[in-house]
Amino acid sequence: MMQNLKKKYGFWTATAMVVGIVIGSGVFFKADDVLKASGGDLPTALFAWLIGGSIMVVTAYVFSKIATRIERVNGVVDYFEEAYGQKAGYLVAWFMTFIYYPTLVAVLAWVSANYTANLLAMPQAVWMISFVYLTGFFLLNYYSPVLAGKWQVTSTVIKLIPLALVAVVGGVVGIESGQTIANFAQAAQTVSSGGGLAVATLSTAFAYEGWIIATSINAELKDAKKTLPRALVVGTIAVVCFYMLYYMGISGVLTNDQVLAEGDAAPVRVIALIFDRLSGTVLTIFVIISCLGTLNGLIMGSARGMYSIASRNLGPKSEFFSVVNPRTNSTIHSALFGYILSSMWLVVWYGNFAGWWGQFMDISELPIAFLYVIYISIYIWVMRTFTNLGGFSRYACPLMAGAGSLYIIWGAIQKDMFMHFLIISLVILVLGYLLMKGTKR
């Protein structure tokens, strides 16, 4: 018998999921990557951040219109199912469960561990810490999903502190010293060329990604048809504002070459230069909390992956994966399966640094580009069927969001090992299709 999840979350948890998952690691972890892809040119990098943010806001607006109509278990899967049928929705759920959620969970566990290892001066322990974080937050969502939701709100508030410090302090210092203007005038000398604006925008896509995961708790939201659309729009607009101010703050203290040299440690370096090393250490702790907030949000989605498939009586052993703990109201076997998949992708991510693949398979960006293919299909459905919407909401926004999606996909095609990842993804989807056909409805 199918067991239902209770409506236990409100507007602030949903908004915190949008802001908290998006703002977490990408803004720290991808700042230097965006600048490098932009050829060391600050105006180009800022333009890439603006393009990526605009795509996110318009996309979230389109999905907010869909969310007012559909309220079931897993937002984007529900929308695709409504548009193209149960089999199509099932395959999207399979992609989200086996590729999208676990790849990003693995990367976020590593990013959180990377900052932690640097803080503890134990770089050799980064992979062990990654596994500990991954395991710990799956256990949190397994034993206490309500506490996991509260952690999401708390970590969201905490993670705004480092962004605000870098944005305000760095911005003021940059204006007074003239560093910001100098960075606009002269590109970094340590990089002769980058991947271009499309690749830079793809890098921002990781930093902006995550808001769609808020739809995974759609069925657990109080008054979801009003709560989720508000959270999507308010949350995504807030994120773009935070990011642009933050990036300007970094450019007010460090030269473009210094940003590239510091890499992921750039925000910590900004505070340490202005105040002292202790301030830099405190900021690192805030950054770690920020990353763990994003990790928790991704795991909230991953833990519900197989449950969302089983809720449709599809896939292997639907009765097994639809089990909900009556005491904690958490998905049991679905969460355990999400943990196993995430651990496997963490090994894949480790293989990049160990040189196993020959090239770098960037599972922090490629799954996101694949998700945008799904988005385009949903935009077409909105334009065809949402006859009660005005021209702006029905045609203009989906077309703009679709153009942005194509731009991000174009950036992904230019990445190393794109074809390899495409083949792996197709094999996983074919396997899912074969298992679906053998399921009793």
CB atoms near residue 321 (< 10 Å): 23
pLDDT at 1: 46
Distances (CA, A) of 337 to 144, 269, 304, 342: 17, 39, 10, 9
Going residue by residue through the chain, which has 441 residues, state the pLDDT in tens, using 9 for 90 and above.
445 556 666 777 777 767 766 776 677 777 788 888 888 888 888 898 889 888 888 888 888 788 777 765 556 788 888 899 988 989 999 999 999 999 999 999 999 999 899 889 898 999 999 999 999 999 887 877 667 667 766 776 777 777 787 888 888 888 888 888 888 888 776 665 666 788 888 888 878 876 776 665 656 667 666 777 777 788 888 888 888 888 888 888 888 888 888 877 777 777 777 766 556 677 788 788 878 877 887 888 888 889 888 877 888 888 888 888 777 777 889 999 999 999 999 999 999 999 999 999 999 889 988 888 999 999 999 999 999 888 988 999 999 999 989 988 998 898 889 999 999 999 999 999 999 864 444
Distances (CA, A) of 131 to 98, 128, 291, 303, 339: 18, 5, 15, 16, 10
**Cβ atoms of 89 and 81 closer than 8 Å:** yes
Residue 227's Cβ-side half-sphere holds a number of Cα atoms within 13 Å equal to 23
DSSP tally for the chain: helices H, then strands E? 22, 0
Return the H-helix or E-strand segment holding 191: none
Locate the domains of the chain by residue range.
11-437
CA angle 44, 369, 345 (to 5 degrees): 115
Please, is 441 exposed, middle or buried when counting C-beta atoms within 10 Å of its C-beta (0-12, 13-18, 19+)?
A: exposed
Which residue in 384, 403, 382 sits closest to 393, CA to CA? Answer: 382
* Spatial separation of the C-alpha atoms in residues 281 and 58, rounded to whole Å: 37
* Spatial separation of the C-alpha atoms in residues 98 and 102, rounded to whole Å: 7
**Three-state DSSP class for 119?**
helix
Task: Look up residue 10 and give its amino acid.
Answer: G
pLDDT at 440: 46
Which residue in 202, 260, 116 sits closest to 406, CA to CA? Answer: 202
pTM of structure: 0.78
Distances (CA, A) of 180 to 176, 183, 271, 392: 9, 5, 16, 37
Both tokens of 381, joined, read: 């459905």
> Is the CATH number 1.10.10.410 carried by domain 11-437?
no
Residues 6+ apart with CB under 8 A from 82: 70, 89, 381
Instruction: Look up residue 348 and give its DSSP letter.
Output: H
Task: Look up residue 355 and give its amino acid.
Answer: G
SS3 content of the chain, % helix, strand, coil (to 5): 80, 0, 20
Which residue in 224, 222, 305, 308 sits closest to 2, CA to CA? Answer: 308
Q: Which residue has the tokens 């892809």?
A: 37
**Cβ atoms of 215 and 64 closer than 8 Å:** no
Task: Look up residue 249 and give its amino acid.
Answer: G
Chain centroid to Cα 320, Å, comes to: 28
pLDDT at 133: 96
* Spatial separation of the C-alpha atoms in residues 190 and 186, rounded to whole Å: 12
Residues 6+ apart with CB under 8 A from 148: 137, 140, 141, 296, 299, 300
